[in-house]
Amino acid sequence: MMEAAAQYWRQRARDYDRAREPGAWVEHYWNSWRAPYRLALAEALARVLPHDHSTVLEVGCHVGPNLRLWRDRWARLRLMGFDVSPEAVAAAKAHFAGDPGVHVWEEDLLDGFTLPVADVIVSCYALAYVPPHFVVPVARRLREAARVALVLAEPLVLGGAAAGLCEYEVEEYRHDWAGVFEDLGALVNVKPIPVVDRLNGILTAEWRAP
């Protein structure tokens, strides 16, 4: 993640709580697990899961609201997630402490670490913070680590929304992920959803059989 965005999210818990009360940020995100866009993301994931004990990795899992929803729906999934925020990761670890099928850790996608291989890799408003010159390298890393498919809920180029920098308090981008993954040989489907901030659609990228 570019440094300004990474620092923003590392500080976000403290900034949010300062205006409210300790723990408010964590509680807000944890309790958003059944938000409509998360339910739509789960439906998209359901369509590409090869089986009910698949391995799913979430890029930018935050405190784990999507992991919570997926675990509620699929008891046998093996779930992994990482996030740049230490507070978010600590909260996620606490929430899933009794579940050996969930592994969460602190990491920055743009630090170049080796992504663990998973059947499906998911992002939910995490790839908006990838700067343009990192888009293709990140896409290739995701492609190499995902055995079956990617599912991305992100600001997408659709419905008249153009690629480029979004208007927000920290640098945030709308990228043409559909075009990028088509160039990498994926079968891509994009579905618009009601806009949440700049998030406007869900993309699935599946790998064609050789």
Q: Which domain holds residue 37?
A: 3-207
Which pLDDT score is estimated for 144?
97
**Spans in the chain with pLDDT lower than 70:** 1-3, 6, 9-22, 209-210
Residue with tokens 């300790």: 22
Contact yes or no for 138/109 (Cβ under 8 A): yes
Determine the 3-state secondary structure of 208 from DSSP: coil
Contact yes or no for 150/181 (Cβ under 8 A): yes
Which pLDDT score is estimated for 101?
98
Among 158, 113, 117, CA closest to 1? 113
Q: Please list, residue by residue across 112-151, b when 16 or more beta carbons sit within 10 angstroms of its beta carbon and e when fewer do.
A: eeebeebbbbbbbbbbbbbbeebbeebbebbbebbebbbb
Which pLDDT score is estimated for 26?
85
Which pLDDT score is estimated for 3?
66
Tally the domains of the chain: 1
Determine the 3-state secondary structure of 166 from DSSP: coil
Which pLDDT score is estimated for 22?
57
CATH number, residue 18:
3.40.50.150
**Is the pTM above the cut of 0.85?**
yes
Instruction: Return the sign of the alpha-carbon dihedral for residues 87, 92, 93, 95.
Output: positive
d(CA 118, CA 148): 8
Which pLDDT score is estimated for 1?
47
List Cα–Cα distances, 119 to 5, 55, 57, 138, 156, in angstroms.
Answer: 28, 5, 8, 17, 23
